[in-house]
Amino acid sequence: MTAGVCDVSSRLMIFGSALLIASPVAAQDQMTKVTSAPPASVAAPAEPTPNPLSSTQLDRQRQDVGTFEMLLQRAVNKATLEMREWAQQIVPNVALMQAAEPVVHGVPVGDASITFNVEVAEMLGVNLWQVVQERQRPQPDPNGVQRVGSVGAQIVQGDSSAGPPPRVTSADADKQYSEYVRQAMIDAILDNSGVLTLKDDQWLAVAVTPVSVTGPTNKKPSGTLILSIKGVDLEQLRQGKISRDEAMRRIVETHF
């Protein structure tokens, strides 16, 4: 009986020892499997598409864009001169001028378009021009006498039924200046865009934004005018396949 018990005990001790030896080995195998498992696949970052133009072509494109930037600046200056002449026809002794030189930046947008951003500052002297205009307007008199100006008034005989000339407001002046700038941009697009190399399906876009350099910095601009036309339309104009008026009609005008 004692011998049987000892035999059983010996077998239990041997079995327990085998379990103790086997457990670390199994755990080590499990750790080896975890350590040697391949890492999860990580998606490679997307690479930008390289510019297909050579360095020589890029240099030429920069020169062409810079040339058209200068042409657009001259167009704004031309509009300013026209605005000054228009204002002096109403008030001869007040000269308007730009608050700041126009700023133009051209950006080629791949094969889609070449966009030019034109910042146009307000005109200086409009308020004074408006005040002098009011002083020089003939004041109607019920007795048929018109008094011109509030300082050093001149008295002239006139027809009281005719009344004073129409009043031109500062808002009218701003509208007139905007129209001069708009027409100057259209002329530059139709007459001077030949300096640019445009594909038939590319767009030439000129975005004109009024900016205030004398008012509050947080003043919101009144709106951006965007003039766009396809390269094929400009090429047809240069080849004489369409008239200038037809090319002008193909310009897409957007207000943003």
Residue 84 in any domain: the answer is yes
Query: Which one of 46-60, 102-116, 142-156 scores highest in mean pLDDT?
Result: 102-116
Spell out a b/e string for 234-253, using b for 16 or more CB atoms within 10 Å of the CB, else e: bbbbeeeebeeeebbeebee
**Is the pLDDT confidence value at 56 over 90?**
no
Residue 5 in any domain: the answer is no
- Strand pairing class (225-230; 252-255): antiparallel
Identify the band that residue 44 occupies on the pLDDT scale cut at 50, 70 and 90. low
Mean pLDDT computed over 45-62: 73
Which of 34-48, 72-86, 124-138, 220-234 has the weakest average pLDDT? 34-48
Residue 121 in any domain: the answer is yes
**Is the pLDDT confidence value at 66 over 80?**
yes
For residue 133 the two structure tokens come to: 């205009």
Mean pLDDT computed over 78-91: 94
Predicted local distance difference test score (pLDDT) of residue 251: 97
Range of the domain at 92: 57-255
Residue 133 in any domain: the answer is yes
Predicted local distance difference test score (pLDDT) of residue 55: 80
Residue 32 in any domain: the answer is no
Count of domains forming the chain = 1
User: Are the C-beta atoms of residues 153 and 147 closer than 8 Å to each other?
Assistant: yes
Residue 134 in any domain: the answer is yes
More confident residue, 50 or 14: 50
Predicted local distance difference test score (pLDDT) of residue 156: 45
Residue 31 in any domain: the answer is no
More confident residue, 216 or 127: 127
> To 5 degrees, how large is the angle CA 14–CA 15–CA 21?
90
More confident residue, 47 or 147: 47
More confident residue, 110 or 154: 110
For residue 158 the two structure tokens come to: 């006139």
Which percentage of the chain shows pLDDT scores above 90? 48
User: Cα separation of 108 and 53, whole Å?
Assistant: 12
Residue 38 in any domain: the answer is no
Predicted local distance difference test score (pLDDT) of residue 14: 44
* Residue matched to tokens 């058209």: 68
Which of 38-47, 188-197, 234-243 has the weakest average pLDDT? 38-47
**Is the pLDDT confidence value at 129 over 70?**
yes
